[in-house]
Structure 1
Amino acid sequence: MQSPRRVRELGVVVGTLPTGSLNAITDVPGVRVGQTTITGDGLNTGVTAIVPDGWEATLPAAVAVGNGYGKLIGTTQVDELGVIETPILLTGTLSTFRVADAFLTWLLDRDPRATSLNPIVGETNDGHLSDIRRRPITPAHVHAALDTASPALPTEGCAGAGTGTAALGFKAGIGTASRVLPTPAPPSARAASAAPPAGGAGGYTVGALVQANFSGVLTVLGRPIPAEPIEADGNSCMIVVATDLPLDSRQLGRLARRAIFAMARVGSDYAPGSGDYAIAFTTSRTPSVADRDLRTPFQAVTESVEEALLNSLTMARTTTGFRHTVRAVPHDRIERSV
């Protein structure tokens, strides 16, 4: 029996940029995460809510699609307008629409005059470990995830929308990580404003949260750790990237694409039945970063997503579900690979 441990506790250090204090998406100022977990009686599923401050007035955002075999509600309006106007929710595939409806009720309760809202709900298929056809998520589960969202370190592994997911042959789930940019701001952003940036350690922060549920061969710092393949229905990955960098929606799209690229670093095979999506948003509404200054933010995204994916695995526990048992990755195999 092994206890869940983050990948850094196993001696794996991804990349060269420093992490935030929590090494989580919640290191980005104003970003909170809430989760509802459902287990027992053939169920392993839940809801994960990413709630940024200021969403009511819209925030710049973009969506990238690696492979569109999935259900991601609200994407066309994000593409059209370049903003999100709600938090972001994640869940299991067949519960996507029930979650969206309950989410809409929560939003309408907060704006009695609203006649148009664009809830964003993503999913991966947890039917390997949960009786997905029962669609067990209720409005109470959705509202609890939103109402309890916190700036603390989110629970990783078998939690929320990751309770029933598996990746790279092992039990996976929710994972998160962050990076702090090594300078207070890119040169072009410093020239645009004399005000100090709002990010951690005097600089800006990039954070990622993943719902990992995809196939391939687990690869840790370039070394493969093969497992028995899992014959699961649907293999996908949802990635949410948050930052306080002053970027526009086009630049956030570039970050979102790098998030999907980062899946390859841990061994994704980008299977035909995989829905691989990334949503990137910023809590800043005053874009002032030039494209030539995106090299380090790109690095921050790929490092954060790679480490978040590894955390989703090393923080998970062996789980017996509706049809199968999926084992956690043995930590000693990771430690031997370093």
Structure 2
Amino acid sequence: VGVVRDAVIQWRVQRGFMKQPWGLPVVAETWDGWLNDINGFHVKPEHAWAALENAASGAVAEGNVGGGTGMVCHGFKGGIGTASRKLEEKAGGYIVGVLAQCNHGRRQELRIAGVPVGLEMTDEMLDREDTGSIIVVVATDAPLLPHQLKRLARRVSMGLARNGATAGNGSGDIFIAFSTANPEAGKTSETAKLEMLPNARMNPLFAATIQATEEAIVNAMIAAETMTGIDGHRARALPHKLLKQILKKYNRLAEK
């Protein structure tokens, strides 16, 4: 975390993005020591620089990428997952996007579309407690103030619960949310005028956050690939064909 923090600050200074005298970036991590030689000090400043220089809009890579490379989720190979929802126009047409780095949960607790998938997939069961963590970032273009964004972030836990997560003792869960609205508010030394969505109109945003979180976690496992790491530890990818069979068994898979 410290290496990346320092690299981000240096990158902002050298690229001329440091508009204030100093700034502290938000940097977070989830423990990947089961697959990775975590004490090998492999993360270098140049890795953070490469990530920043190559950042672009468009589709987000999922699965075994970036910080998601060494993740294990519900006893399967985890990683990075994303999902989004667009509200109906009558609700404002706002968009809620979720990015999750998934490294939590136990196999027997896993549920997908309400189906106890983990209980149906018992081969190569990892004998592990819920010792991992998950980081979720929620982004929206809805005009929300900080106290409203906190309310949005709290709904993330409901998305986790829909997939069977129980936030074990060793699970360090971090949820943050931000809004892209009111972009000029921080650029003036005068009194700023802000747009704010009334609290009474936030329910659709809550539902969108919960749904997108649930889907992002599933997408992380769907996109991840089987990996063998340090000391021969093997994290198996969620088997797609078997998943479809189980969902069909419970009448949760629509035939096309």
Q: TM-score, normalised by structure 2?
A: 0.84
Instruction: State yes or no: 1:215 paired with 2:123.
Output: no
Q: Which amino acid aligns with 2:243?
A: I
* Count of residue pairs brought into register by the alignment: 227
Residue 32 of structure 1: aligned partner: none
Residue 186 of structure 2: aligned partner: none
Residue 270 of structure 1: aligned partner: 167
The CA deviation at 1:218 is: 1.5
Larger helix share, 1 or 2: 2
Residue 134 of structure 1: aligned partner: 40
RCO higher in structure (CA 8 A, sep ≥6): 1
% identical aligned pairs: 39
Larger strand share, 1 or 2: 1
Instruction: State yes or no: 1:328 paired with 2:237.
Output: yes
The DSSP-based 3-state class of the residue aligned with 1:176 is: strand
Distance across 2 between alignment mates of 1:111 and 1:153: 25
The CA deviation at 1:207 is: 0.3
Residue 64 of structure 1: aligned partner: none
Distance 1:137 1:232, change over 3 A: farther
Distance across 1 between alignment mates of 2:241 and 2:18: 54
Residues 239-275 of structure 1 show CA distances to partners (whole Å, capped at 9, x for unaligned) of 0000100111111100100012211111112110111
Residue 310 of structure 1: aligned partner: 218
Residue 227 of structure 2: aligned partner: 319
User: 5+ unaligned residues in a row in structure 1: which ranges?
Assistant: 1-95, 187-202
The CA deviation at 1:111 is: 4.6
Residue 260 of structure 1: aligned partner: 157
Distance 1:115 1:335, change over 3 A: same
1:124–1:234: 8 Å Cα contact kept in structure 2? no
The CA deviation at 1:330 is: 0.9
State which structure, 1 or 2, has the greater radius of gyration over its C-alpha atoms.
2
Runs of 4+ in structure 1 over 2 Å off: 110-116, 229-234
Q: Which moved more, 1:311-320 or 1:222-231?
A: 222-231
1:204–1:245: 8 Å Cα contact kept in structure 2? yes
Q: TM-score, normalised by structure 1?
A: 0.64
Distance across 2 between alignment mates of 1:119 and 1:142: 12
Distance 1:331 1:249, change over 3 A: same
Distance 1:292 1:123, change over 3 A: same
Distance across 1 between alignment mates of 2:199 and 2:129: 40
Distance 1:247 1:275, change over 3 A: same
Residues 146-184 of structure 1 show CA distances to partners (whole Å, capped at 9, x for unaligned) of 111111111100001101101101001000000000116
Q: Which moved more, 1:227-236 or 1:315-324?
A: 227-236
Distance 1:112 1:256, change over 3 A: closer
Q: Which amino acid aligns with 2:155?
A: R
Aligned pair partner of 1:300 in 202, 208, 219: 208
Instruction: State yes or no: 1:159 paired with 2:49.
Output: no
1:173–1:313: 8 Å Cα contact kept in structure 2? yes
The DSSP-based 3-state class of the residue aligned with 1:117 is: coil
Distance across 2 between alignment mates of 1:113 and 1:303: 36
Q: For the aligned residues, what is the CA RMSD? A: 1.7
Spell out the pairing of 1:13-24 with structure 2 (5 A cutoff).
none
Residues 268-313 of structure 1 show CA distances to partners (whole Å, capped at 9, x for unaligned) of 1211011111110000023321111011000110011100000000
The DSSP-based 3-state class of the residue aligned with 1:209 is: strand
